[in-house]
Amino acid sequence: MPNRKVCLLNGEVYHICNKSIAGFRIFNNDEDYNRMLKLMTFYNSQNTPCSFSVYESLKKCVLVDSKKIVNLVAYCLMPTHVHFIIRQDTDYGIEGFVTKISQGYSQYFNARHKRKGPLWEGRFKNILVKDNNQLVHLTRYVHLNPVTAFLVNDPDNWIYSSYKEYIKDNPIQKRLCDFDNLMTMDEVLYKKFVLDQIDYQRQLASIKDLILED
C-alpha cells in the first residue's frame, strides 16, 4: 500500500471512517459487532504478542498491560461502516490501529462466511478535528448515526457505540474510550445535547467538512 500523502500527527484528534465495499453489510449480528469491539481492545497496545486469532483460539500468548497506541475518544459501528474519533499518541498509531483491526476483522468475516477478497473500500478516510467545539459536535454526529439511519429511535438503544460511556448508562461495562480531558459537559447535559434534534441539525453545517461518508 502506498504511504499517506499527509502524516497524522501525534497529539491531534482525527475523525476516521472506514466503509465496506459497495455498501456490503459487514456486521450482521451481535457476534460480528462484538468481534470488532474485541479487536479494538486487543490491538490498542504497543506490546501485542500475537494476532488476535491466535490469542482467541489457542491462548498461546499472554497479554500484558502496556501503553496504548491511540486514545479512542468515540466510536460507532454501523452495518456497513465504522466511525472513530481518535487522538494519536504514538508515531503512526492511528495507521497501525485501524489497519490491524480492519485486517483482523476481514480475516474473521471471510473465514466465517467462506468468502475471499477485500472487505473494505480502501484506505480509511481521516479529517483533522480542529478544536473542542468541533469535537463535541462531531461526537454527537457519530453517536446519532444509528438514529439518522433509522436503526433505532434513541442512541441509547444502540449498544455498538460509545454513547453509553458518555452518558454513564452502563458504568459496569469496561470503557473503551478516554474523553474526560476533552469533553466540557457532564453526562446529563451531553445527553440533552445529543437528543436535541433541532440543535443537531443547526450545528450540522459547522462540521460538514468532518463528515466522511460521502
Q: Which helix (H) or strand (E) holds 96?
A: helix 93-112
- Per-residue pLDDT tens for 50-95? 777 777 776 666 565 668 889 999 999 999 999 999 999 989 999 9
For the cut 60, the answer to whether the pLDDT of residue 100 exceeds it is yes
**Using CA atoms, how far apart are residues 29 and 8, in angstroms rounded to an integer?**
33
Give the predicted TM-score (pTM) of the model: 0.86
**Are 31 and 39 a contacting pair, CB within 8 Å?**
no
**Mean pLDDT within 1-12:** 69
13-210 folds as Alpha-Beta Plaits (3.30.70)
**Using CA atoms, how far apart are residues 143 and 135, in angstroms rounded to an integer?**
12
- Supply the pLDDT for residue 185: 85
Provide the sign of the torsion angle of the four alpha carbons 117, 95, 66, 182, taken in this order: negative
**Mean pLDDT within 103-128:** 91
DSSP state of 122: S
**Are 120 and 19 a contacting pair, CB within 8 Å?**
yes
Place of cell 481518535: 86
- Supply the pLDDT for residue 2: 40
- Per-residue pLDDT tens for 117-173? 899 988 899 999 999 989 998 999 999 989 888 899 899 999 999 999 999 887 556
- Per-residue pLDDT tens for 181-200? 788 788 999 999 999 865 66
- Supply the pLDDT for residue 205: 55
For the cut 80, the answer to whether the pLDDT of residue 30 exceeds it is yes
